[in-house]
């Protein structure tokens, strides 16, 4: 079976892996000239289903708890399993209590344990929550690793092409994020920064709770830190605003004052595709399957969505003939 995947974001790449693993001949077509620049590129890469349950529905936890295993299998060496640390300034203790009451899979940590987990945060926070089973990855490195793995499996990549102009495939998987023609989709703008400083070391994502600007810092290699992310109901891709920059930098500085001396090596904006209930969907439409609405859970939920989509494609294949003739049929006609 020949399958065309439209879009090389995290949805498209994970779907390519699931389909190629099941024996489909997969082509991924992407309008951009490389893997970068889409929503997936600007993600934090947190695989944090227990923390996300604070504001998300139960399916996010149910579908996301195996994500780290999936990424470990598909891209060995990309996942760091060090948990998530959640802290709040003493004046925001109420936020910590609220977060604890809305989540599971954590234990309370005091100043001493915070110091054991993150020595650079010693003496800065009296109380926190530790989610030991959570993980993180660098989205850019993970997507590059997945791309290389897919290419090694025989998946064809076509960059710089609009997939709407490609036909002659048995099945199509639409993974075009905000570009999808779907009136139900809305954009949730996420602004982020990458800071670089050799003066701070963190081993895991740290979330800093705040009544107005709950933000997080995710460590990356090379003394770099991803600071994210705003949540603004907008599909504007314009540059990071001054206000958002102040909030993001304020959070980093509140976590550790050494961030005040960090270099700002990148600012970025990604638009999260979201359905009204903020849950993703895999939907069959004729010969096509669409994966969309990954919202703030692309890396967390794309593996489960990809598995569903591949299951749907292969069950369709068993139950009915493809609507379009295949190359082979065309040649033999
Ligand atoms: C700042 C920020 C932080 C985030 N942090 C996290 C996090 O920590 N953990 C997590 O799990 N999720 C996170 N997310 C969410 C995650 O990034 C998104 O849910 C995910 O990237 C959506 O993936 P996608 O593949 O649907 O869309 P995209 O990544 O946008 O990919 C869609 C692709 O389709 C291509 N395309 C569009 N039209 C066509 C066409 N006609 N032909 C060919 N190609 C086409 C586009 O060019 C694009 O490359 C974050 C998002 C943001 C913005």
Provide the mean pLDDT of the chain: 94
Residue 22: per-residue pLDDT: 95
177 CB less than 6 Å from ligand 1?
yes
31 CB less than 6 Å from ligand 1?
yes
Atom of ligand 1 nearest to the CA of 271: 53
Do 201 and 252 have their domain in common?
yes
- Which among 40, 48, 57 has a CA at the least distance from the CA of 273? 40
- Which among 267, 273, 266, 268 has a CA at the least distance from the CA of 298? 273
Rounded-to-integer distance, Cα 36 and Cα 74, Å:
20
7 CB less than 6 Å from ligand 1?
yes
Ligand 1 centre from 167 Cα, in Å? 24
35 CB less than 6 Å from ligand 1?
no
Give me the percent of the chain exceeding a pLDDT of 90. Answer: 90
Rounded-to-integer distance, Cα 178 and Cα 180, Å:
5
Give the H/E segment covering residue 270: strand 263-274
Is 123 in a helix, a strand, or coil?
A: coil
pTM: 0.94
Do 229 and 125 have their domain in common?
yes
- Which among 3, 7, 35 has a CA at the least distance from the CA of 175? 7
Rounded-to-integer distance, Cα 322 and Cα 333, Å:
16
**243 backbone dihedrals φ, ψ, rounded to 5°:** -65, -45
For the stretch 132-178, pLDDT in tens is 999 999 999 999 999 999 999 999 999 999 999 898 899 999 999 99
Do 267 and 296 have their domain in common?
no
30 CB less than 6 Å from ligand 1?
yes
Q: What is the dihedral of CA 23, 29, 33, 36, to 10 degrees?
A: -70
Sequence-distant (≥ 6) Cβ neighbours of residue 172 within 8 angstroms = 3, 4, 5, 6, 287, 288, 289
Mutation to probe ligand 1, out of 299, 300, 303 (largest number of atoms < 8 A from CB): 299
9 CB less than 6 Å from ligand 1?
yes
Give me the mean pLDDT over the 33-40 stretch.
96
Residue 330: per-residue pLDDT: 31
- Inter-residue contact 317 to 284 (CB < 8 Å): no
| Residue 255 lies in domain | 84-132+186-274
Atom 4 of ligand 1, nearest CA residue? 43
Do 293 and 145 have their domain in common?
yes
Q: How confident is the model at residue 60 (pLDDT cuts 50, 70, 90)?
A: very high
Mutation to probe ligand 1, out of 53, 176, 280 (largest number of atoms < 8 A from CB): 176
In CATH, what number is assigned to the domain containing residue 312?
3.40.50.720
- Inter-residue contact 155 to 8 (CB < 8 Å): no
Give me the mean pLDDT over the 281-289 stretch.
93
- Which among 18, 1, 27, 5 has a CA at the least distance from the CA of 310? 18
Do 105 and 163 have their domain in common?
no
Atom of ligand 1 nearest to the CA of 178: 30
Rounded-to-integer distance, Cα 210 and Cα 214, Å:
5
Mutation to probe ligand 1, out of 4, 7, 71 (largest number of atoms < 8 A from CB): 7
45 CB less than 6 Å from ligand 1?
yes
Do 170 and 191 have their domain in common?
no
- Inter-residue contact 333 to 325 (CB < 8 Å): yes
Rounded-to-integer distance, Cα 112 and Cα 93, Å:
17
Give me the mean pLDDT over the 102-112 stretch.
97
Residue 319: per-residue pLDDT: 61
Rounded-to-integer distance, Cα 93 and Cα 76, Å:
38
Do 285 and 325 have their domain in common?
yes
185 CB less than 6 Å from ligand 1?
no
Residue 72: per-residue pLDDT: 98
Lowest mean pLDDT among 41-45, 115-119, 323-327: 323-327
Look at the chain and report how many structural domains it folds into.
Answer: 2
Residue 39: per-residue pLDDT: 98
Give the H/E segment covering residue 156: strand 156-159
Ligand 1 centre from 190 Cα, in Å? 11
Do 127 and 216 have their domain in common?
yes
Atom of ligand 1 nearest to the CA of 11: 25
Domain contains 61: no
Q: How confident is the model at residue 296 (pLDDT cuts 50, 70, 90)?
A: very high
Atom 22 of ligand 1, nearest CA residue? 298
Do 148 and 229 have their domain in common?
no
320 pLDDT higher than 60: no
230 CB less than 6 Å from ligand 1?
no
244 CB less than 6 Å from ligand 1?
no
Do 247 and 324 have their domain in common?
no
Give me the mean pLDDT over the 37-61 stretch.
97
Residue 214: per-residue pLDDT: 86
Q: How confident is the model at residue 317 (pLDDT cuts 50, 70, 90)?
A: low
Sequence-distant (≥ 6) Cβ neighbours of residue 246 within 8 angstroms = none
Bigger pLDDT: 327 or 304? 304
117 pLDDT higher than 90: yes
Cα separation of the two ends of the chain: 18
How crowded is the C-beta side of 288, counted as CA atoms within 13 Å? 17
Residue 65: per-residue pLDDT: 97
Give me the mean pLDDT over the 115-126 stretch.
97
172 CB less than 6 Å from ligand 1?
no
Number of H helices, E strands in the chain: 10, 17
For the stretch 321-330, pLDDT in tens is 443 333 333 3
Rounded-to-integer distance, Cα 176 and Cα 38, Å:
10
Mutation to probe ligand 1, out of 165, 270, 292, 304 (largest number of atoms < 8 A from CB): 270
85 pLDDT higher than 90: yes
Do 173 and 200 have their domain in common?
no
């Amino acid at each position: 079976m020949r399958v065309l995947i439209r879009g090389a974001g995290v949805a498209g790449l994970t779907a390519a892996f699931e389909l190629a693993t099941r024996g489909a001949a997969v082509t991924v077509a992407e309008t951009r000239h490389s893997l970068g620049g889409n929503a997936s590129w600007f993600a934090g890469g947190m695989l944090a289903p227990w923390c996300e349950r604070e504001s998300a529905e139960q399916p996010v936890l149910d579908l996301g708890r195996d994500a780290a295993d999936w990424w470990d299998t598909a891209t060995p060496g990309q996942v760091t399993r060090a948990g998530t640390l959640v802290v709040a300034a003493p004046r925001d203790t109420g936020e910590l209590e609220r977060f604890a009451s809305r989540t599971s899979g954590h234990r309370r940590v005091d100043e001493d344990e915070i110091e054991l987990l993150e020595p650079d945060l010693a003496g800065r926070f009296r109380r926190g929550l530790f989610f030991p089973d959570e993980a993180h990855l660098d989205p850019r490195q993970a997507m590059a690793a997945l791309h290389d793995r897919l290419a090694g499996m025989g998946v064809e990549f076509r960059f710089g092409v609009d997939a709407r102009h490609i036909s002659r495939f048995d099945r199509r998987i639409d993974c075009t994020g905000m570009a999808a023609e779907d009136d139900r989709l809305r954009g949730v703008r996420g602004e982020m920064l990458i800071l670089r400083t050799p003066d701070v070391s963190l081993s895991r994502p740290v979330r800093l709770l705040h009544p107005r600007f709950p933000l997080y810092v995710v460590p990356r290699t090379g003394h770099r830190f991803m600071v994210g992310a705003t949540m603004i109901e907008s599909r504007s891709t314009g540059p990071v605003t001054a206000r958002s920059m102040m909030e993001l930098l304020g959070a980093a500085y509140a976590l550790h004052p050494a961030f005040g001396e960090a270099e700002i090596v990148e600012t970025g904006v990604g638009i999260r595709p979201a359905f009204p209930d903020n849950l993703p969907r895999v939907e069959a439409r004729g010969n096509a399957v669409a994966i969309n609405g990954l919202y703030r859970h692309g890396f967390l939920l794309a593996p489960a969505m990809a598995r569903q989509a591949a299951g749907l494609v292969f069950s369709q294949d068993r139950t009915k003939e493809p609507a379009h003739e295949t190359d082979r049929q065309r040649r033999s006609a």
